[in-house]
Amino acid sequence: QLQLAESGGGLVQPGGSLRLSCTASGFNFDVYYIAWFRQAPGKEREGVSCISTIGPRTNYADAVKGRFTISREDAKNTVYLQMNSLKREDTAVYYCAADRVDKLLYTMYDYWGKGTQVTVSS
C-alpha cells in the first residue's frame, strides 16, 4: 500500500537543469526521512541527497554539492530534487527512498520508488 513515485527525469544537455519529484501515498509523509539515490550502468547505487523531518536538515554527496538542492513540501506529500549545472556523469536512474528513522545516505531505507531515468548528453 505504501508507495513512492518519481517523476521529472528525461534527456538534458550538459549545463542544463531538471527537477525531480517524489510523491508518496499510503502513509503519513511528514514523519518520514526522504533521500535520493542514483545508479549508473555498471556502478553501485550511491546516495545523492537526503532531507530530515524537522528543520529540515539536508545532506549532499560531494559530487553534487552546490549544484543540487533537495526540498520537501509535506502538504503535497512531495520531495523535490532540483538539479542544476548537470554533467554527463550525473546520468543515472534516480530513486527516492523513505524511512521513519534517519539513515542519511546509506542504502537501508525501508521504502523505495521504481526510479526515473536522467540522461545528460549533447
For residue 27, pLDDT beyond 80:
no
**pLDDT per residue as tens digits for the range 81-108:** 999 999 999 999 999 999 998 888 888 9
116 pLDDT tier (thresholds 50, 70, 90): very high
d(CA 7, CA 66): 22
C-alpha distances (whole Å) from 26 to each of 4, 7, 49 are 9, 18, 23
**pLDDT per residue as tens digits for the range 44-85:** 999 999 999 888 999 999 999 999 999 999 889 999 999 999
d(CA 111, CA 120): 27
Identify the pLDDT of residue 73.
Answer: 93
How many other C-beta atoms are found inside a 10 Å radius of the C-beta of residue 77? 18
